[in-house]
A and B are shown apart, each in its own frame.
Chain A
Amino acid sequence: MNRELPRWADLALLPALNLLLALGVSALVVLAAGESPAAALQALAIGSFGSWDSVGYTLFYATDMAFAGLAVAIAFKCGLFNIGVEGQAAIGGLGLALVMLGLDSTLPAALVVILAVAAGALAGAAYGAIPGWLQARRGSHVVITTIMFNFIAASLLVYLLVNVLIEPGQMAPETRRFAVGLPPLSDFGFPGRSPVNLALPLALLAALAVWVLVWRTPWGYGLRVVGSNPDAAAYAGIDQGRRIIAAMAISGALAAGIAVNELLGSQDKLILNFTGGAGFTGIAVALMGRNHPVGVLLAALLFGALAQGGAELAFEMPDLPRETVMVVQGLVILFTGALGALFRAPLSRLLGA
């Protein structure tokens, strides 16, 4: 009765199988679009890893995905489905931009950047904590409230950028350029020309921090108890509500990492829709990475490559837009998340035999 997959199959074989299937179905879509799947795959591969430039871009996008995936994963670990990473990143970006706009010409560069990162994280955390509080104390389902919070954040950002923060005399809804930012990795000898920047090591640090927090502290132990068995939380004397609020706050702070990478590392200003849907891709990253930091980083690399490869693909094959990679993302979410039971049983039978 108690069929269990071996660990390696659970952690490696199953995700690989799901990815393969997602790619297979995507190949059919590429065929339907009248293109050759083999050529598309080749363009993807070359586009994402074919040169130092493209590797840099892949890593740049992977940084977004890593932050987004970690944000979704830590909420998942507490049994929460945070669909609001997009909105939390946006509000994080707002907090970060306000610090930059206010202080970038008065304080030393390093200090203002650190302050901006902190402000971004704080703003994202606050914006994540509200749905957490609503879930813990008012019973409002976090899935629905975070969806709503995404739109509220988007409206707020549009209003502020169109009416308040816009650079005077300009038409585009953007702030002025920040005087300083995060240095690109090319400053430290990374080859090629790409926007990959110090946010990448920051993402690696964040992954380590999440691992330590969730797997190596009593607090994180409680978080996992709440996530996997809320009934047992009362038995172990763990305050479920406080864990939920805190998990959502941390999730929001991690989401703000997207803003750090995009705004401080590449754009040097606050723009609309800077997340580029990374918040939603984070769901695929977390599901595929099995909500573990190592898995999330690997999945982030994969989806970073897809994002970069997709852009190159659109360039190489004019009949395929960069949204084609969204087909792969959607299918990965579907196969790993919703249709997970499809392969689990046959696979365990196969391996058990």
Chain B
Amino acid sequence: MTSAAPPAIECRGITKRFGHVLANDAVDLVVHRGSIHGVIGENGAGKSTLMAILHGFYPADSGEILVDGRKVSIDDSADAARLGIEMVHQHFMLVEPFRVVENVMLGAEGGALLKHGEAEARAALKRLAEEYGLAVDPDARVEDLPVGARQRVEILKALYRGAEVLILDEPTGVLTPQEADDLFRVLRALRDEGKAIILITHKLREVMAVTDRVSVMRGGKMVAHRETSETSAAELGELMIGRRPAAAQRPAPSAPGPEILAVEDLRVRDNAGVERVRGVSLALHAGEILGIAGVAGNGQTELLEAVSGMRAPESGTVRLRGEPITGLDAAALRRLGLAHVPEDRLRHGLIPEFEACESAILGYHGDPAWRRFLGLVSGRKVEAHAARLMRENDVRPALPRLRSSLFSGGNQQKLILAREMEREPDVLLVGQPTRGVDIGGIEAIHERLRGWRRAGKAVLLVSVELDEILALSDRILVIFDGRIVGELPGGAADERRLGLLMAGAAA
């Protein structure tokens, strides 16, 4: 297959920095025509950044891109389009009330009037449907189409605009297995026509099934390139996760107490109506940290929201100390001793424009502790309370009247943790506790959670950071595609197996 022709895409030493995060560190990538090239990696490995640079979303700090052997600069998506680079986004860029043919034409109408261009687009749609098996009714409204068909529209759009290089970002995340198989059939047909296809994914099964070559990213670096036929899911899984430093702080085996929180066959839909949690059952015991590992977008967010009372589940039950609590709101659950450190600090955990001391009572704002005569909230008591929390938990700067948004991520998180732990709830739900927190902050937060467990409390930890799961959990459940696909003991977790489970490659 290797030809003398220059590669369709060649990236040399691409580097991109956001603040103090090095998202891409001298990344190289070569993608040939007539091949499907997988790019895999954990959350935050740098895949999306690299693709955004290729698609002109933002420029690289350094490095160069060659298309068909010529050095090019890609400043916006129009540049990318001129070079034949098109992207199928994870969140479709479609105009839902429009017909399919209108969506396909948008930006490539072929003249001031639509009449001529529409005829051309129809002919092209017909041709593409026959060539690649991409059949979609050109007059259907996108909003009436199932997700798989919408994705076909995205691909058709790209092809109609003359895509030679097609980038697909986690394309199967929203598809049923059958739809995914259809997609792979299309991708193979496109490859056979000489297109270059870049498939970004974290699912090893897909990589093994459909790609010709695969590149593995980890921590912003490109760590390996392989011919798919010469590698295995196991090897890729290891490369993806890497060799971890021996965890110094592995939790000592605990003697868990009685079961305190039980989830039975929970099903949850997201705002778009997609079933994100598909029958999850789990049990949490006093004195343990139960980690939910998984790649982002596999239902862990909705699971946490449903258990914490933020989102009503579709079906299933949640019990706290044996009592059913399904469907109670977050305020009621807090009173029952179930607290929640949410995944998204700035959207849920605090109110960015509130003063820190006000954010420090979010969810507990009705508490009599800061009320005085007539039940009015005492500003002084609220401030004093925050000052104490800040002092005891080393939140800096210790200024209760400072606006919440002005604290660093780590200090915001310490404040939220302090708030949620203050009333010593029996169950603490914790989502992504160290996202956007610097190293020192991470250690402090981990230490607090361990101390909490030692005190006999129960913690349900959701994190997409494998290191965090490994460092804290007594037991690990792996969530994939809305289901719990495996359970591992915490102390001596088999990392290889964990990686495979997270990638949906082992049962």
Contact = CB atoms under 8 A, between A and B. Distances in A.
Direct contact of A and B (CB under 8 A): yes
Given A4-B405, A229-B351, A234-B330, 19 more contacts: A2-B405, A215-B379, A216-B376, A218-B377, A221-B358, A224-B351, A224-B354, A228-B352, A232-B347, A234-B348, A235-B342, A235-B363, A236-B330, A236-B365, A237-B329, A237-B332, A237-B334, A237-B363, A238-B331
A231 interface: yes
Interface in B306-338: 308-311, 329-334
Contacts of A222: 365
Contact of A212 (B330, B350, B363, B376): B376
A4 B344 CA distance: 22
Interface residues of B, number: 35
13 contacts: A221-B365, A225-B362, A228-B354, A229-B352, A231-B347, A231-B348, A232-B349, A232-B351, A234-B348, A235-B340, A235-B349, A235-B363, A236-B331
**Top 6 A-B pairs, shortest CB-CB distance:** A237-B331, A237-B330, A218-B366, A235-B348, A221-B365, A236-B363
Nearest to A229: B351
Contacts of A216: 376-377, 379
A322 B204 CA distance: 74
B403 interface: yes
Given A216-B376, A217-B375, A228-B351, A235 B310 contact: yes
B444 interface: no
B406 to A, nearest CB: 6
A210 to B, nearest CB: 14
Interface residues of A, number: 21
Interface string B397-424: 0000001011000000000000000000
Given A221-B377, A235-B363, A229 B347 contact: yes
B152 to A, nearest CB: 31
Interface string A234-277: 11111100000000000000000000000000000000000000
A90 B162 CA distance: 62
Given A225-B351, A229-B352, A231-B347, A237 B377 contact: no
Contacts of B375: 217
B353 interface: yes
B462 to A, nearest CB: 15
Nearest to B330: A237
A318 B331 CA distance: 62
Contacts of A212: 376
Contacts, number: 72
A239 B310 CA distance: 11
Contacts of B333: 237
Nearest to B332: A237
A217 B351 contact: no
**Which has the most chain B C-beta neighbours within 10 Å: A2, A218, A224, A235?**
A235
B187 to A, nearest CB: 37
A215 B363 CA distance: 16
A86 B361 CA distance: 37
B309 A217 contact: no
Nearest to B361: A221
A216 B351 CA distance: 17
B377 A217 contact: yes
Nearest to A235: B348
A4 B309 contact: no
Nearest to B401: A7
Contacts of A234: 310-311, 329-330, 348
Interface in B289-314: 308-311
A2 B358 CA distance: 20
Interface string B459-471: 0000000000000
A235 B330 contact: yes
A236 B376 contact: no
Contacts of B329: 234, 237, 239
**Which has the most chain B C-beta neighbours within 10 Å: A2, A231, A232?**
A232
Contacts of B311: 234
A237 to B, nearest CB: 3
**Which has the most chain A C-beta neighbours within 10 Å: B309, B348, B365?**
B365
B406 A4 contact: yes
A218 B331 CA distance: 13
A229 B354 CA distance: 10
B348 A232 contact: yes
A29 to B, nearest CB: 35
Given A225-B351, A229-B351, A232-B347, A237 B309 contact: yes
Nearest to B371: A218
Nearest to B375: A217
A80 to B, nearest CB: 17
A238 B364 CA distance: 11
B374 to A, nearest CB: 9
Nearest to B346: A229
A182 B324 CA distance: 57
Nearest to B333: A237
Contacts of A218: 365-366, 371, 377
Contacts of B376: 212, 216-217
A295 to B, nearest CB: 16
Nearest to A237: B331
A76 to B, nearest CB: 13
Nearest to A232: B348
Contacts of B365: 218, 221-222, 236
Nearest to A230: B347
Contacts of B363: 235-237
A347 to B, nearest CB: 17
A231 B311 CA distance: 11
**Which has the most chain A C-beta neighbours within 10 Å: B310, B311, B375?**
B310
A236 B403 contact: no
Contacts of B352: 228-229
Contacts of B308: 235
Contacts of A224: 351, 354
A94 to B, nearest CB: 33
Contacts of B406: 2, 4
A234 B354 CA distance: 17
Contacts of B340: 235
A212 B379 CA distance: 11
B259 to A, nearest CB: 25
Nearest to A231: B347
A301 B358 CA distance: 30
Nearest to A4: B406
Nearest to A220: B377
A238 B348 CA distance: 12
A221 to B, nearest CB: 4
A233 to B, nearest CB: 9
Contacts of B310: 234-235
Contact of B403 (A4, A232, A237, A239): A4
Contacts of B351: 224-225, 228-229, 232
A181 B450 CA distance: 69
A215 B365 CA distance: 11
